[in-house]
A and B are shown apart, each in its own frame.
Chain A
Amino acid sequence: MLRSFIEFFSFSDPNVVYVVVGTLLIGASSSIVGCFTVLRKRSLVGDAIAHAVLPGVCLAFLLHGEKDPLILLLGAFISGWISIIVIDLIVENTRIKTDAALGIVLSVFFGLGILLLTHIQKTGNASQSGLDSFLFGKAASIVGADLYTFGAVAVLLMVAVFAFFREFTLISFDPNYAQSIGMPVKWYQLVLSSLTVLAVTVGIQAVGVVLMAALLITPAVAARFWTHRLWLMIVLAALIGAIANVSGAFISYAAPRMPTGPWIIVVLTFLAMFSMFFAPQRGFLSKWRKARSSKARIFEENVLKLLYQLEEKDGNKKVDRSIQEMLKRRDWKHSEVKAALKRLDRRALVTGQSENWRLSQEGRMEGQRIVRIHRLWELYLTTVMKVAPDHVHETAEVMEHIINPPLEKKLMRLLNKPERDPHDSPIPYAEDDI
């Protein structure tokens, strides 16, 4: 494994150089275009185009009579283009919806392609034609001549996206608005569609017809988890696409029985899953962490509130309260209360040890704040929202942890700094509130 790794990445074999550069170009360029197709919610159009290029390739071969990569590409491009037009034609003129139109175009074009391909194979010149590479991809056998095509297309795509970045962004985000400010939306959509067809025609030579959709969609999905900014999303998608493609090429180099295209897709999907779990902010892990820490904070606030209420009840600020005493008032677990008290101790909000604790001055202020918000909110619900007094407690239990100081001030002013809550408990204020 290590040896093939070194062999592969030392680029001593010129074929390896071709493969690496070729897959890298394909991966990056289709990812860039893919960002726009995904954002325009047309992800599966890429899938339809990929299937639809096959009859074009076969017809180009049949008409031309021999394998000329450029002619085949041209055939692929034309038939991919026609497929987009047919999809729009069906959706605009009949009651058939987009999903079915995609399915129809995808499968019928592909069926025709298969019919032509098998016909060509039976007539005996399929092997030299290399049409198969359009079906399954041939990333592992990219040769020097291919690089010119791939490179040219990649450069073209990047330049186009760079030049029309603002326009593409606008028509992806809000085509109606773009139309209203007089932008030739149809024309830009046409350009974007053509770029997609171009990316697909080239991309299928790496991963094949069926898996092409992933080359467009998956890097964009993965990149989306990391950022809200479009240009950064595009750069990340290109990077992810490039990494996956080169990894796929390497895997099939190290284990020659392994097909390149499928491995590219597997790596891509893993990168997307990784992003989904570990991306900051939008990732599962970060969401889960946030939820857990806010849960812990709410529990701490509830402990402070309880300690404050105990003080309020007997008017004694100078005694320790045992955890046992707290558990009598709330349906909590001993261990979680203890852990919360330890955390509060670290923040100097409580003093004491193991089983017995009391509020510090800061802790008292905090506990009082929670109780105050709880009662203010109950009063707001009964007076402003006209909710029955016996129905307000549950909501106040939630809101006391959400309402922030500015909002609390606002609430207090709105209610004219009230004395008592709907249940006739006093609303406690801190000294400086007077």
Chain B
Amino acid sequence: MDFWFNDFWIILCGSLVAMSCAILGCFLILRKMAMVGDAISHSVLPGIVVAFFLSGSLSSWTVMLGATSLGLLTTFIIEMLNKRGGVQADAAIGLTFTFLFAVGVILIAANSGNLHIDQDCVLHGEIAYIPLDIGTTIAGIEIPRQAIILSVLFFVISTLVYLGYRGLFLTTFDPEYADAIGVKTTTWHYLLMAAVSLATVVSFESVGAILVVAFLIVPAATAYLLTDHFPSMLLLSCVVGILSSFTGYYLAVYLDGSIAGAISTMMGVFFSLAFLFAPKHGYLAKRLST
């Protein structure tokens, strides 16, 4: 019974991370900002470390606030380097996130005695330990702390996208027109970036700073190959996320390896299937039709 519950909580948490990230990822890839998502996920590290040092816990408000603001700062620095400094866009991204990530690693090394973050955690998180950290007990069922936090994250992200759907959709499709009719495109941009930062920070403990990129981009890209209808794309990306969490978990158990790594691998498998067999936009469909 206990064992079954362990599986359940890990798969649930994996799915929650995957869904929160996938929803945001749909906007990121359509805005051609996938690598900015990558940059944010790396650069929140020093924010997490400093805030963790101040508050002593990985899932405190301080950490979320500190790291989210650092994510926003990252997008801001990238834009400044690009517009003011004359550094080309892709180089500006690379320069910014490597620096902030390096600072994060140095901070971890400098406080290695006091911090409960190690390099493994940064790389692939500790989703396997989620069931051990019980947050609350309802009707005799022990609910892990992370499951609660990740549910809140999913709720916040989906509410934001539900309420802001029109603005996000418009500014993603045609920012110039949006500007012309007086829509606050910058506000929407930073709102989305704040959401991406928040999602990366909250997912950090489960999947680490690097593999979260897979969660952001791969399910969204898979869904993009399968449909031409945006709400379906959002939904499908979540489905891919859940399927990957489920199969990924058992792959990890089978190989006795990292769960987050296995989930990312499964996301890659689903993407490859879509790449080959997607009805309209897949490789085979295109080759056969021409």
Contacts and interface: CB of A to CB of B under 8 A. Distances in A.
Q: Please tell me whether chains A and B touch each other in their complex, using a CB distance cut-off of 8 A.
A: yes
Nearest to A96: B221
A266 interface: yes
Given A262-B105, A266-B99, A220 B34 contact: no
A403 interface: no
Interface in B250-290: 251-252, 255-258, 260-265, 267-268, 271, 275, 281-283, 286
Contacts of B64: none
Given A41-B90, A266-B103, A118 B214 contact: no
A26 to B, nearest CB: 15
Interface residues of A, number: 59
B132 interface: no
Contact of B210 (A99, A107, A136, A259): A107
A114 interface: yes
Contacts of B255: 115, 119
Given A96-B29, A211-B98, A218-B95, A108 B258 contact: no
Most buried by B among A104, A220, A262, A276: A104
A118 B258 contact: yes
Interface string B222-249: 0011000000000000000000000000
Interface string A17-60: 00000000000000000000010011110110001000000000
B196 interface: no
Contacts of B106: 258-259, 262-263, 266
B268 A112 contact: yes
Interface in A96-129: 96-97, 99-100, 102-104, 106-119, 122-123
B211 A221 contact: no
Most buried by B among A115, A122, A257: A115
Given A90-B275, A94-B283, A210 B85 contact: no
Contacts of A103: 29, 34-35, 37-38, 213, 216-218, 221
A258 B110 contact: yes
Contact of A108 (B109, B268, B281): B268
A360 interface: no
B123 A135 contact: yes
A265 interface: yes
B211 A114 contact: yes
Given A41-B90, A93-B286, A112-B265, A119 B256 contact: yes
A261 B108 CA distance: 13
Nearest to A215: B98
A113 B119 CA distance: 15
B109 A258 contact: yes
Nearest to B272: A108
A102 B99 contact: no
Contact of A214 (B98, B256, B268): B98
Nearest to B29: A100
15 contacts: A90-B275, A100-B220, A103-B29, A111-B214, A114-B258, A115-B264, A119-B257, A123-B256, A210-B42, A214-B94, A217-B95, A261-B102, A265-B98, A266-B99, A284-B85
Interface of B: 29, 32-35, 37-38, 42, 85-88, 90-91, 93-95, 98-99, 101-103, 105-106, 109-110, 112, 119, 123-124, 210-211, 213-214, 216-218, 220-221, 224-225, 251-252, 255-258, 260-265, 267-268, 271, 275, 281-283, 286
| 3 A-B pairs closest in CB distance | A111-B264, A108-B268, A114-B261
Interface of A: 38, 41-44, 46-47, 51, 90, 93-97, 99-100, 102-104, 106-119, 122-123, 135-136, 210-211, 213-214, 216-218, 220-221, 257-259, 261-263, 265-266, 269, 272, 276, 282, 284
